[in-house]
Structure 1
Amino acid sequence: MTRVPAVLLRHRVTVEPYLGAGAYGPTYGPPTAVRALVSDRPQMTRTPDSRTAQATATVIADPEIECPVGSRVTLPDGRTTTAITVARHTAPGLPVPACTEVMCQ
């Protein structure tokens, strides 16, 4: 499986993986710095529960990042967002790169 070439991942984002709801609200794992390609443009998307939501940024990263829906993502400009959809793109046997696409609210 080929990956997105590192030279294309020009940004750094911080991902705090969502672990679940606790007694005092959502809980997150330790922050991890991730190389990514960030597109700051509004885009409509569907959430896992079929609602329509407006994403403000799209993050393309390595296929193995841990970023479940609900994770906290800090973008290169310092803005903190929430992952509303996560899609893992793979094409085994084809010469296209695998990646993870995270739509952020």
Structure 2
Amino acid sequence: MGDLDDFYVHTLTVQTLTGTGAMGDVFAAPVTVPGWLEDKRRIVRDKNGQEVVSSSMFACDNAHLPKFTPDSKVTIDGRTAFVIGVANYTSGALDLPDHLEIDLT
């Protein structure tokens, strides 16, 4: 159990972007991830360095990092969003809680 698990009171479903096929984007099967959702608009940079507006930030355990590639599809509270970017916070020898912060459209 992680240090922040008590704060993970929200869940989302993520479908990891795995590539592009003849019919468009291809996504992995949906997976449920516990975490913390903060609905707050802010300007962030996307994978190309362009400024875009993020409508939400989702924090969760670092173990879920491979699931949140840019442009992966996320469903939370009946709303569909896409991953803009991910910040992976690790503390190393400081022994602080490690976590991800995922910016969503």
| TM-score, L = length of structure 1 | 0.92
CA apart distance, 1:95: 2.5
Q: Counterpart amino acid of 2:89?
A: H
Aligned to 1:45: 44
Gaps of 5+ in 2: none
Residue 100 in 1 paired to residue 100 in 2?
A: yes
CA RMSD of aligned residues (A): 1.3
The number of aligned residues is: 103
Q: Verify the 8 A CA contact 1:3 1:63 in the aligned structure 2.
A: no
Q: Counterpart amino acid of 1:102?
A: I
Residue 63 in 1 paired to residue 62 in 2?
A: yes
Alignment of 1:1-105 (within 5 A): 3-65=2-64, 66-75=67-76, 77-105=77-105
| TM-score, L = length of structure 2 | 0.92
Rounded to whole Å, the distance in 2 between the matches of 1:94 and 1:40 is 29
Structure holding more helix per residue: 2
Bigger shift: residues 26-35 or 86-95: 86-95
Q: Give the 3 Å change call, closer, same or farther, for CA 68–4 of structure 1 in structure 2.
A: farther
Rounded to whole Å, the distance in 2 between the matches of 1:93 and 1:3 is 16
Greater RCO, CA 8 A, separation 6+: 1
Which aligned runs of 4 or more in structure 1 are off by greater than 2 angstroms?
none
Rounded to whole Å, the distance in 2 between the matches of 1:88 and 1:96 is 13
Report % sequence identity: 25
